């Protein structure tokens, strides 16, 4: 099973990266908005994005953030062992451990039986082949 | 060339400490004896459990030839801060140093704790934003206050839409307090959700602040930082729970896998047991056929017939062996 907590932490990191990317995009691509009666500023070096493109990108970035958040919430919902107390977990581990020991014992037994059967079959095959050799010799 | 290189490489490493020569078999035996004596004395003084002592002596007798492992085993048994009581001769170098006192020690410029535990947020000097349901009621109330206060701050700044979130945030803890202890992980999940919502909210606020009065951003950034630390801390606190859950899953998988293996083995054995009588029966039949051939046919023909029979029996044998192998796989 994938480690949900690590997944969650990775998602958190990604979310923060998206935050940074969003702010960075706004910071580098924004247009200048004059306030009140100011003259609109212009900067030749500024990398001002086309208004439509700017809006689209903003939409995309915010959608990404929302999607990432939804993903995070889904992962939180599916965290293992919700509503199970530590004692329950430990009890379950112990019972499973005992069961595993029993099953392993049974497995060893089954393997032993299989080996016995295999030995018996081998002896059978040997005796059959011996008989064939005998018949071939006498005929 | 090679010798020059060797010399260069040898220069890179410092010579061994001069006291390595003291690690003779004799000295190791002496040191072990000293530890044993010391240990027994300590046991009498402190009235420690007998079990420990037995273990120690066992280890001593087992590891007499191997001083190093022995010393490692003894390390925790030695009393702390008794360097002065160490013997004066060279055996002193064979004994592990006493454990440093206090709850922490320094290593490579970092401070480490002897006890392997996760420090709480309080110990790290970070404000804890979520409810700690394991702790007592007063603390929980305190934290509720903090959350409520925070939400109030946010409400002032934020719009309607976000107020819905904040209401959720405030209402949830009250619901949780009425729940039972066995649902602590459920509470934790809710706390986690709250923190993530709070994180989003804080980000929105940060954007708002930056767009209106950029000089105020450090405070908001600090709040986001605290929320993040809280989230990570909460996640890491959840780890033991997940580890147990993973262990349960692994055990279950192993049990089912072993059961399946047993079933397969049994099925294989059963198949072989069912087929063997059939095969034996066929062989018997063939033998009878062969006898009838012997009686009926002339020697000339007999030879060729015999050969055929031998090959047919051979192929039967091969088929039987194949069956066996398949069944046993």
pLDDT tens digit string along B5-57? 666 777 778 888 887 888 888 888 888 887 777 766 555 555 444 444 444 44
Q: Give tens-digit pLDDT for A73-90.
A: 998 888 876 767 778 888
- Does residue A1 register a pLDDT over 70? no
Q: In angstroms, rounded to a whole number, what is the distance separating the alpha carbons of residues B95 and B304?
A: 88
* A81, A90, A97 member nearest B185 (Cβ): A81
The residue of chain B with its CA nearest to that of A6 is B235
pTM for this prediction: 0.54
* A69, A80, A132 member nearest B314 (Cβ): A132
pLDDT at residue number B179: 37
Considering only CA atoms, which of B150, B233, B154 is closest in space to residue B142? B150
* A84, A106, A121 member nearest B262 (Cβ): A106
Q: pLDDT tens track of chain B, all 329 residues?
A: 556 666 677 777 888 888 788 888 888 888 888 777 776 655 555 544 444 444 444 444 444 334 333 444 444 445 544 555 666 677 777 777 777 777 777 788 877 777 766 667 776 767 777 766 544 333 334 444 444 444 444 444 444 344 334 444 433 343 333 334 446 667 778 888 888 999 999 998 998 888 888 888 888 888 888 888 888 888 888 888 888 888 888 999 999 999 999 999 999 888 888 887 887 788 778 777 777 766 665 555 555 555 666 666 677 777 777 766 666 65
Mark yes or no for CB contact A80/B249 under 8 Å: yes
Q: Give tens-digit pLDDT for A19-70.
A: 999 989 888 887 777 777 777 777 777 777 788 888 899 899 999 999 999 9
Mutation for testing the A interface, residue in B324, B325, B329 having most A CBs under 10 Å: B324
Q: How many residues belong to chain B?
A: 329
Distance in Å, alpha carbon of A31 to nearest chain B alpha carbon: 13
pLDDT at residue number B57: 41
Tokens of B39: 């240990």
CA-CA-CA-CA torsion for B247, B253, B254, B259, nearest 10 degrees? 150
CB A106 within 8 A of CB A32: no
CB A29 within 8 A of CB A54: yes
Higher pLDDT, residue A8 or B63: A8
Burial B80-115 (b: 16+ CB within 10 A, else e): eeeeeebeeeebebbbbebeeeeeeeeeeeeeeeee
Chains A, B: CB contacts under 8 A, how many?
Answer: 137
pLDDT at residue number B158: 42
Contacts of B277 (CB under 8 A, 6+ apart): none
pLDDT at residue number A4: 82
For residue B105, the surrounding DSSP H or E stretch is: strand B104-107
Residue A32 touches chain B, beta carbons under 8 Å: no
pLDDT at residue number B88: 67
Higher pLDDT, residue A129 or A64: A64
CB B217 within 8 A of CB B206: yes
Tokens of B77: 């048994």
pLDDT at residue number B49: 41
Q: What is the ipTM of this complex?
A: 0.74
Mark yes or no for CB contact A96/B183 under 8 Å: no
CB B191 within 8 A of CB B234: yes
Q: Which of residues 72-131 of A touch B (CB under 8 A)?
A: 72-73, 76-77, 79-86, 88-90, 92-93, 96-97, 99-100, 103-104, 106-107, 110-111, 113-114, 117-118, 121, 124-125, 128-129
Considering only CA atoms, which of B127, B120, B129 is closest in space to residue B194? B129
Q: In angstroms, rounded to a whole number, what is the distance separating the alpha carbons of residues A81 and A132?
A: 65
pLDDT at residue number B136: 36
Contacts of A33 (CB under 8 A, 6+ apart): A40
Q: Give tens-digit pLDDT for A98-108.
A: 999 999 999 99
Q: In angstroms, rounded to a whole number, what is the distance separating the alpha carbons of residues B272 and B280?
A: 12
Burial A66-100 (b: 16+ CB within 10 A, else e): eebbeebeebbeebbbeebbeeebeebeeebeebe
Within 10 A of B230 (CB to CB), how many other CB atoms are there? 22
Residue A21 touches chain B, beta carbons under 8 Å: no
pLDDT at residue number A134: 84
Mutation for testing the A interface, residue in B206, B251, B321 having most A CBs under 10 Å: B251
Distance in Å, alpha carbon of B121 to nearest chain A alpha carbon: 18
The residue of chain B with its CA nearest to that of A33 is B211
The residue of chain B with its CA nearest to that of A78 is B189
* B189, B239, B255 member nearest A76 (Cβ): B189
In the predicted model, what is the mean pLDDT of residues A114-120?
A: 87
pLDDT at residue number B134: 44
Write the DSSP string, B185-251: HHHHHHHHHHHHHHHHHHHHHHHHHHHH-GGGHHHHHHHHHHHHHHHHHHHHHHHHHHHHHHHHHHH
Q: How many residues belong to chain A?
A: 139
Distance in Å, alpha carbon of A44 to nearest chain B alpha carbon: 22
Residues of B within 8 A of A117 (CB-CB) are 269, 272-273, 328
């Amino acid at each position: 099973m994938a480690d949900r907590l690590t997944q969650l932490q990775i998602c958190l990191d990604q979310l923060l990266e998206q935050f940074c990317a969003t702010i960075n995009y706004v910071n580098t691509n924004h247009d200048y908005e004059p306030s009140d009666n100011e003259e609109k500023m212009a900067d030749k070096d500024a990398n001002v994005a086309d208004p439509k493109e700017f809006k689209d990108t903003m939409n995309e970035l915010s959608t990404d953030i929302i999607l990432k958040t939804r993903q995070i919430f889904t992962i939180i919902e599916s965290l293992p062992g919700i509503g199970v107390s530590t004692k329950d977990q430990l009890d379950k581990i112990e019972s499973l451990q005992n069961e595993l020991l029993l099953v392993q014992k049974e497995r060893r037994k089954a393997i032993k039986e299989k080996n016995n059967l295999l030995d018996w079959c081998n002896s059978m095959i040997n005796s059959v082949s011996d008989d064939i050799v005998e018949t071939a010799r006498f005929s | 060339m090679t010798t020059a290189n060797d010399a260069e490489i040898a220069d890179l490493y410092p010579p061994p400490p001069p006291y390595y020569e003291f690690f003779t078999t004799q000295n190791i035996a002496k040191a072990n004896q000293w530890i044993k004596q010391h240990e027994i004395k300590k046991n009498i003084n402190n009235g420690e459990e007998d079990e420990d002592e037995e273990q120690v002596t066992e280890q001593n007798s087992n590891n007499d030839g191997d001083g190093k492992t022995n010393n490692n085993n003894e390390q925790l048994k030695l009393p702390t801060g008794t360097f002065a009581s160490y013997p004066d001769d060279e055996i002193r170098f064979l004994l592990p140093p006493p454990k440093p006192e206090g709850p922490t020690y320094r290593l490579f410029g970092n401070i480490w704790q002897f006890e392997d535990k996760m420090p709480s947020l309080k110990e790290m000097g970070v404000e804890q934003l979520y409810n700690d349901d394991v702790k007592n009621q007063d603390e929980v109330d305190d934290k509720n206050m903090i959350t409520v206060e925070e939400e109030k701050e946010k409400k002032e700044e934020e719009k309607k839409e976000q107020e819905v979130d904040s209401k959720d945030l405030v209402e949830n803890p009250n619901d949780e307090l009425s729940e039972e202890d066995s649902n602590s992980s459920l509470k934790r999940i809710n706390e986690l959700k709250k923190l993530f919502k709070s994180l989003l909210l804080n980000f929105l606020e940060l954007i708002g602040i930056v767009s209106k009065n950029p000089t105020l951003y450090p405070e908001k950034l600090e709040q986001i930082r605290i929320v993040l630390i809280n989230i990570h801390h909460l996640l890491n606190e959840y780890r033991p729970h997940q580890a147990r859950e993973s262990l349960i899953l692994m055990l279950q998988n192993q049990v089912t896998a072993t059961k399946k293996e047993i079933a397969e083995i049994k099925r294989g054995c059963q198949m072989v047991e069912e087929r063997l009588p059939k095969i034996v029966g066929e062989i018997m039949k063939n033998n009878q056929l062969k006898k009838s051939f012997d009686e009926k046919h002339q020697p000339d023909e007999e030879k060729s017939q015999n050969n055929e029979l031998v090959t047919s029996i051979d192929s039967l044998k091969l088929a039987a062996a194949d069956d066996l192998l398949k069944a046993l796989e």
